[in-house]
Structure 1
Amino acid sequence: MLMTPGPTAVPEPVREAMSRELINPDVDPRFREIYDRLTDRLAAVYGVGPGVSAADGGRDVVVLGGEGILGLEAAVASLVEPGTEVLCLSNGLYGEGFADFVESYGGEATLVDAPRDEPLPLDALDEALAADDADFDLATMVHCETPTGTLNDVGTALDRLEAADGEILTVVDAVSSLGGVPVPTDRIDVCLGASQKCFSAPPGLATAAVSDRAWAAMEARDPHSLYANFLPFRDVSDGFPYTHLTTEVVALDAALDLWLDEGLDAVRERHEAAARRCRERGAELGLEPVPDPERSSPTVTAFEVPGRAPALQEALREEHDVLLATGLGEGADDILRVGHMGHSARVERVEETMDALAAVL
């Protein structure tokens, strides 16, 4: 049983959709119809349309052929050039990764960071914004830091950025929250998602909701990359910039069928219930999530198991056929992660998982 925080378990209707006859995305008009339907549905999930004006927070939604990390790099590649000043707000691995991308594209990254078990450093953000030499073009942050199961208060961070300088463009990694947790997309210039997390489709697609002013900035910068570039997807009426990942697009479309049939409120309530039960069972076993429960994401729980994570992961897989994830980076040996997101965000799957974990502890 797959209970990792992405890729998540893919339900049968999605697997069935993937087994249908292949559609050629370059010459068959049916593919464009599927893609257009998919972006309209994603706009509804993002909460930005279709039919929502730019003044009311409307965004264009695009889907690139590549795993979710492509979206993070493409956002930077599309908006950063040598000399671009970028404030990278971070309390984890992916927040720090934004700074690495910025520097690789010649930008000037200012990393405002906090330890992995602490909230976003909002006071330090205020100080950076108030500095005499502050002249930021762009700010990046992560909504759900998956390696620690932390759901960050991006709303307050956006408040601080808007109050300090309403011209700063914002990029938010919502890969592990979109579809399971409310995301303030209407306040974000580039909001990033992916197919393999809360939607329970296979890995292979990066999604983004892009504001008009972000498009304008991309056009002014004229990005040099074809693949790590949102601009070619702004208007695909004359075709896609490269052969799209047909099967993955069809799979995500089928996954959104299930998501929309269930309904926004029901999906979020299911994630909350699964997370709550996971942490209740963890507490009974003497385990606590890495951040305090109020800052833990409804999509993933990261338990502290100092030095034991790889051994517990192996025992769960070999003895109970349950696959969990360990931490990443410095938490690889000390954190065990339960992914209750997407199709896996069900109390019965959590109960089976925690029964297995109780047996191997």
Structure 2
Amino acid sequence: MNNKLVYTPGPTEVRENVRLARAISTTNPDIDTMFCEFYKSTCEKIGEIIKTKNNVYILNGEGILGLEAACASLTEKGDRVLVIDNGIFGRGFADFVKMYGGEVVYFSKEYTKDINEVDLEAFLEKDNNFKYATLVHCDTPTGVLNDLSKLCPLLKKYGILTIVDSVASMFGEELKVDEWKVDIALGGSQKALSAPAGLTIVSVSEDIEYAMKSRKTQVTGFYCNLSIWENYYNNKWFPYTMPISDIMGLDKAIDNILEEGIERVLNRHEKIAKATRKSIKEYGLDLYLEKGYSNTVTVVEIPGYIGAKNLTDYLLRHYNLVLATSLDEYSDKVIRIGHMGENAKLEKIIPVLNFIDEALRRLGFEGKDRLVDLFNKYYSEVKLITK
């Protein structure tokens, strides 16, 4: 369990000051109103980072809770919902929509590239009678990144609310919730934020609040009902006992980002991601994606005679490195290099690339140069475009 080098696309390494924050003596979050102020302050700091004045909440559950809660809170029987599908998690939204009685319509495209807004608009010109649309910012199984700055305003133009899974992108990719007209943005503690798993972040627009109040039927269930948070601050009352130690750790992880500066955080993600992709290609391996690359995860195809599972097993046995393959049909075809959060640092990725290089050579693949040498070359050359 201990001393493993974990370089997966979440959970990521947790900094010591975050771990220590979770060990601080706590109060009773149900009674002590000072905790309510602390919680509100933490939510406001998140809003500052993701550029929103919308209400932000922290839910007691891993990121999937947020996906289900968003669908549960909006969906009524017979509602038509557009599921934008260019990845496993993108398509997976349909399960939650159907669970709460919604009628799913797919907008499905190749999993090797991001969604083209021209194609989406051509679709919407013919059919736009949807209560809301679901889409993923970074679909982690393949690493594809969809351009929310184009897609969400387009959907809004047709009066369609948006639920965005930004769990694998929030804090590692630029996110401007208000400017990009994102109605619900969902994040998780264990990805680029580099806090322990177990918390969901959700921002809720005024249009979503109105839609929830305008329902003809009550939301099914309680824990997945976002409307129960509406008056928590005015009433100084939480719907359930909050995991105070987890939130204290989360708050410290947010402070780490604010102290470094969000632009610097985004820049190091971008620089490491670009250098990783360029070095992998020159090394002689193929990237899974054709376009639409995320700065938080790089997905690499592994030759069939080696096998992705065989490679990750070898890395764990010989180097104590935990690296992920992917899901479903990709489980033995690709590996995922999770350069996000605390892992998106030069001193963290160098040993990982060294171990991958060594393992591949011992398993019969000869790269065109040392992988780390190629990475270092491109890292020094990368020009950033993040504004």
Per the normalisation by structure 2, the TM-score is: 0.86
The one-letter amino acid of 1:203's match is A
Q: Which residue of 2 aligns with 1:53?
A: none
Q: Which residue of 2 aligns with 1:181?
A: 173
Give the superposition deviation at 1:124: 4.7
Is structure 2 residue 144 aligned with structure 1 residue 146? no
The one-letter amino acid of 1:126's match is E
Please give the secondary structure, in 2, of the residue aligned with 1:206: strand
The one-letter amino acid of 1:158's match is C
Equivalent of residue 94 in structure 2, options 63, 81, 99:
99
Q: Which residue of 1 aligns with 2:219?
A: 223
* Cα pair distance change 1:32/1:236, threshold 3 Å: same
The one-letter amino acid of 2:101's match is G
Query: 1:144-195: CA deviations, max 9, x gaps?
Result: 01111111122222243234x1x21111111111111112311111111111
Equivalent of residue 278 in structure 1, options 276, 279, 298:
276
Contact 1:62–1:234, Cα closer than 8 Å, also in 2: no
Is structure 2 residue 312 aligned with structure 1 residue 313? yes
Give the superposition deviation at 1:13: 0.3
Task: Return the alpha-carbon distance in structure 2 between the equivalents of residues 172 and 312 of structure 1.
Answer: 33
Equivalent of residue 34 in structure 2, options 30, 36, 42:
30
Task: Return the alpha-carbon distance in structure 2 between the equivalents of residues 86 and 137 of structure 1.
Answer: 6
Query: 1:213-257: CA deviations, max 9, x gaps?
Result: 100111222312211111111221331111111121111001011
* Cα pair distance change 1:140/1:90, threshold 3 Å: same
Is structure 2 residue 297 aligned with structure 1 residue 300? yes
Equivalent of residue 118 in structure 1, options 113, 117, 125:
113
Task: Return the alpha-carbon distance in structure 1 between the equivalents of residues 38 and 153 of structure 2.
Answer: 37
Is structure 2 residue 333 aligned with structure 1 residue 329? no
Contact 1:7–1:196, Cα closer than 8 Å, also in 2: yes
Contact 1:304–1:334, Cα closer than 8 Å, also in 2: yes
Task: Return the alpha-carbon distance in structure 1 between the equivalents of residues 280 and 226 of structure 2.
Answer: 41
Contact 1:141–1:172, Cα closer than 8 Å, also in 2: yes
Q: What pairs with 1:173-212 in structure 2 (closer than 5 Å)?
A: 173-186=165-178, 187-212=181-206
Task: Return the alpha-carbon distance in structure 2 between the equivalents of residues 194 and 230 of structure 1.
Answer: 16
Task: Return the alpha-carbon distance in structure 1 between the equivalents of residues 88 and 319 of structure 2.
Answer: 30
Q: What pairs with 1:79-94 in structure 2 (closer than 5 Å)?
A: 79-94=74-89
Is structure 2 residue 295 aligned with structure 1 residue 291? no
Please give the secondary structure, in 2, of the residue aligned with 1:5: coil
The one-letter amino acid of 1:245's match is P
* Cα pair distance change 1:127/1:276, threshold 3 Å: closer
Contact 1:138–1:168, Cα closer than 8 Å, also in 2: yes
Equivalent of residue 68 in structure 1, options 63, 68, 71:
63
Task: Return the alpha-carbon distance in structure 1 between the equivalents of residues 203 and 257 of structure 2.
Answer: 18
Give the superposition deviation at 1:306: 4.5
Please give the secondary structure, in 1, of the residue aligned with 2:105: strand
Q: Which residue of 2 aligns with 1:155?
A: 149
The one-letter amino acid of 1:287's match is L
Task: Return the alpha-carbon distance in structure 2 between the equivalents of residues 282 and 347 of structure 1.
Answer: 16
Q: Which residue of 2 aligns with 1:52?
A: none
Please give the secondary structure, in 2, of the residue aligned with 1:170: strand
Task: Return the alpha-carbon distance in structure 1 between the equivalents of residues 268 and 118 of structure 2.
Answer: 34
Task: Return the alpha-carbon distance in structure 1 between the equivalents of residues 69 and 261 of structure 2.
Answer: 30
The one-letter amino acid of 2:323's match is L
Task: Return the alpha-carbon distance in structure 2 between the equivalents of residues 181 and 84 of structure 1.
Answer: 32
Please give the secondary structure, in 2, of the residue aligned with 1:359: helix
Query: 1:323-357: CA deviations, max 9, x gaps?
Result: 11111122111110011100100122111100000
Task: Return the alpha-carbon distance in structure 2 between the equivalents of residues 298 and 134 of structure 1.
Answer: 31
Q: Which residue of 2 aligns with 1:54?
A: none
Q: Which residue of 2 aligns with 1:17?
A: 21
Task: Return the alpha-carbon distance in structure 2 between the equivalents of residues 23 and 94 of structure 1.
Answer: 37
The one-letter amino acid of 2:332's match is D
Is structure 2 residue 165 aligned with structure 1 residue 168? no
Rg larger for: 2
The one-letter amino acid of 2:347's match is E
Give the superposition deviation at 1:28: 2.5
Contact 2:155–2:161, Cα closer than 8 Å, also in 1: no
Contact 1:113–1:121, Cα closer than 8 Å, also in 2: no
What is the percent sequence identity of the aligned residues? 39
Give the superposition deviation at 1:279: 2.0
The one-letter amino acid of 2:199's match is L
Task: Return the alpha-carbon distance in structure 1 between the equivalents of residues 85 and 207 of structure 2.
Answer: 24
Task: Return the alpha-carbon distance in structure 1 between the equivalents of residues 154 and 183 of structure 2.
Answer: 15
* Cα pair distance change 1:64/1:200, threshold 3 Å: same
Task: Return the alpha-carbon distance in structure 2 between the equivalents of residues 188 and 203 of structure 1.
Answer: 24
Length, aligned pairs only: 348
Please give the secondary structure, in 2, of the residue aligned with 1:295: coil
Please give the secondary structure, in 1, of the residue aligned with 2:321: coil
Task: Return the alpha-carbon distance in structure 1 between the equivalents of residues 128 and 355 of structure 2.
Answer: 51
Of 4-13 and 227-236, deviating more is 227-236
Contact 2:187–2:200, Cα closer than 8 Å, also in 1: yes
Of 349-358 and 215-224, deviating more is 215-224
* Cα pair distance change 1:275/1:134, threshold 3 Å: closer
Per the normalisation by structure 1, the TM-score is: 0.92
Q: What pairs with 1:130-145 in structure 2 (closer than 5 Å)?
A: 130-131=125-126, 134-145=128-139
Task: Return the alpha-carbon distance in structure 2 between the equivalents of residues 2 and 240 of structure 1.
Answer: 35
Two-structure CA RMSD over aligned residues (Å): 1.5
Give the superposition deviation at 1:33: 2.4
The one-letter amino acid of 1:84's match is D
